[in-house]
Amino acid sequence: MKETFKILLLLLFTTFPPFWGGSGWGAFSQTDNSIRDYYHPTSAKLSIDGYYGINSNAITNQFTKSIIKGQYIDNDLKNKVSKKLGDENRFGGDINAGIYFSNKLENFIGKTGISYYIGLRDREHFDMSFSKDLFDLGFYGNSRFADDTANFSPLNFNLLRYQQFEFGFLFNDGKMGTGISLLKGEQFLSADVSKGTMFTAADGSFIDVELAMKLKQSDTENYGFKAINGVGISADYFAIINLKKTDSTHQFLFEIKDLGFIKWNKNSLESTVDTALHYDGVEINLRDSFYTKNAINTNLNTYKKSEKRKFNTALPVFLHLAYSVDFTARLKVIGGFKYRFFANYSLCYYMRGIYKINDHFSASAKLAFGGYGKLNFGLGIKTQIGKKFNITLTSDNLEGFILPAHTTGQGAFISVEKIF
């Protein structure tokens, strides 16, 4: 069981605002990769960016690092995680890299203030919700559940990797935009355990297991960046609204992203399992193996169905509402919330301050609560080099680098822009 949990963790796996560039909003989180950031007020730009981020409301950074690197996990490390676990536990993250080009049009069908953009992205997302009993069973074994039932449901896990070609338009000098993306599905895995229990006899002489699970996965024989296991489409839209027509110091943002789906091909696998098992024999240690050579397996009732078929999966849809105030020509403060559907995501509230130090250097600070984690703190900088290049460095989870043994999130973002 420990190895199974380890494999799941191994499978798991902002843009920083263009300060006062265009609408002045920029992105509010490293995971946004919003088309709002594609706008430039005067000319064209080419940008390359990369991001990674993981977060949890219980699993510490040090624990995650040890799992991924295959390092020894002592009881102290496990205890720090176990104490943080509650009834609803989350773990999720994203890896995102891309390149895009945008250009402002002098005149488009008689209209001004319009830009177009094109871009390519490689995206990977994972998310997981799980019970405390699942963690304890996987990393301590079943001895602590003697004469008791471990409930490792509900369990939901999703892993999605795809490539994206995006195209769209920005209107009203970057205050509104819409785009369409064509998607190439590379890999998908979803496990949904609606019922999972294990009873261990007081003397360890037997265990009873009940399991009801649905599993979906893309073609397991065709994998890698070149694999085309599905195709899909998605849409993005945002609008920035002045609360007063002639006053842009108070604005409201509505944004929805990744509204779409991927259709996986006929070689995809869908499985359903509903089983009740009884094991007799010597003590079974789940930290080492699900079976021992002396165990006797009695199959009381089992239903299993697997078939290769096409199916659709929705993308983790991103909803974002926010309000901004320009206190001075240099200081902007933004507050709002965001949510991701179909992604085991908790409503995330945040506040970000952006300060323009001079014409070549800006900085921001962010405080957020929710998402896959709890309380997060981040800092970012953007600097202009000469007249043609902008470099951005930011992290929404600085706490993960400072106190990895006690915090649960980490991430970093970098982008380089060339202005033409």
Amino acid in the structure at residue 88:
E
Task: Read off the tokens for 170.
Answer: 């920005």
The values of phi and psi at residue 143, to 5°, are -65, -35
pLDDT at residue 376 tops 90: yes
Render pLDDT for 79-107 as a digit per residue (tens, 0 to 9). 999 999 998 899 999 999 999 999 999 88
pLDDT for position 392: 94
Q: For the ranges 107-111, 221-225, 363-367, which has the lowest average pLDDT?
A: 107-111
- In angstroms, the CA 139 to CA 75 distance is 9
For the chain, what is the mean pLDDT? Answer: 88
- In angstroms, the CA 34 to CA 322 distance is 14
Q: For the ranges 9-23, 190-204, 379-393, 400-414, which has the lowest average pLDDT?
A: 9-23
pLDDT for position 112: 87
The values of phi and psi at residue 167, to 5°, are -150, 140
Amino acid in the structure at residue 162:
Y
Q: What is the mean pLDDT of residues 383-390?
A: 91
pLDDT at residue 3 tops 70: no
Q: What is the mean pLDDT of residues 168-186?
A: 96
Q: What is the mean pLDDT of residues 237-264?
A: 93
pLDDT at residue 393 tops 80: yes
Among 411, 404, 409, smallest CA distance to 77 is for 404
Per-state percent for the chain, helix, strand, coil, to nearest 5: 10, 55, 30
- In angstroms, the CA 400 to CA 376 distance is 9
Domain hosting residue 98, numbered range: 2-419
State how far the alpha carbon of 74 is from the alpha carbons of 55, 62, 79, 169, 283, in Å.
Answer: 22, 12, 9, 53, 22
Before 154, cis peptide (omega within 30)? yes
Overall domain count for the chain: 1
Q: Is the separation of the CB atoms in 46 and 40 below 8 Å?
A: no
Q: What is the mean pLDDT of residues 20-49?
A: 70
pLDDT for position 281: 55
pLDDT at residue 11 tops 90: no
Question: HSE (CB half, 13 Å, CA atoms) of 158?
Answer: 18
Alpha helices in 244-388 (DSSP H): none
Choose between 22 and 239: higher pLDDT. 239
Q: Is the separation of the CB atoms in 395 and 114 below 8 Å?
A: no
Choose between 10 and 179: higher pLDDT. 179
Confidence grade of residue 414 (pLDDT, cut at 50, 70, 90): very high
pLDDT for position 110: 78
* Tokens 């952006």 found at: 354
Strand, helix or coil for residue 22: coil
pLDDT for position 296: 52
Q: What is the mean pLDDT of residues 317-337?
A: 96
Task: Read off the tokens for 121.
Answer: 């992205």
* Tokens 């649960």 found at: 408
Render pLDDT for 115-155 as a digit per residue (tens, 0 to 9). 999 999 999 999 999 999 999 999 999 999 999 999 999 99
pLDDT at residue 297 tops 70: no
The burial of 294, by beta-carbon neighbours within 10 Å (0-12 exposed, 13-18 middle, 19 or more buried), is given as exposed
Find residue 349's DSSP bridge partners: 337, 369
Q: Is the separation of the CB atoms in 353 and 341 below 8 Å?
A: no
pLDDT at residue 111 tops 60: yes
Q: What is the pTM of this model?
A: 0.87
**How large a percentage of the chain has pLDDT more than 70?**
87
Task: Read off the tokens for 9.
Answer: 């963790």
Task: Read off the tokens for 201.
Answer: 């006899």
- In angstroms, the CA 394 to CA 384 distance is 15
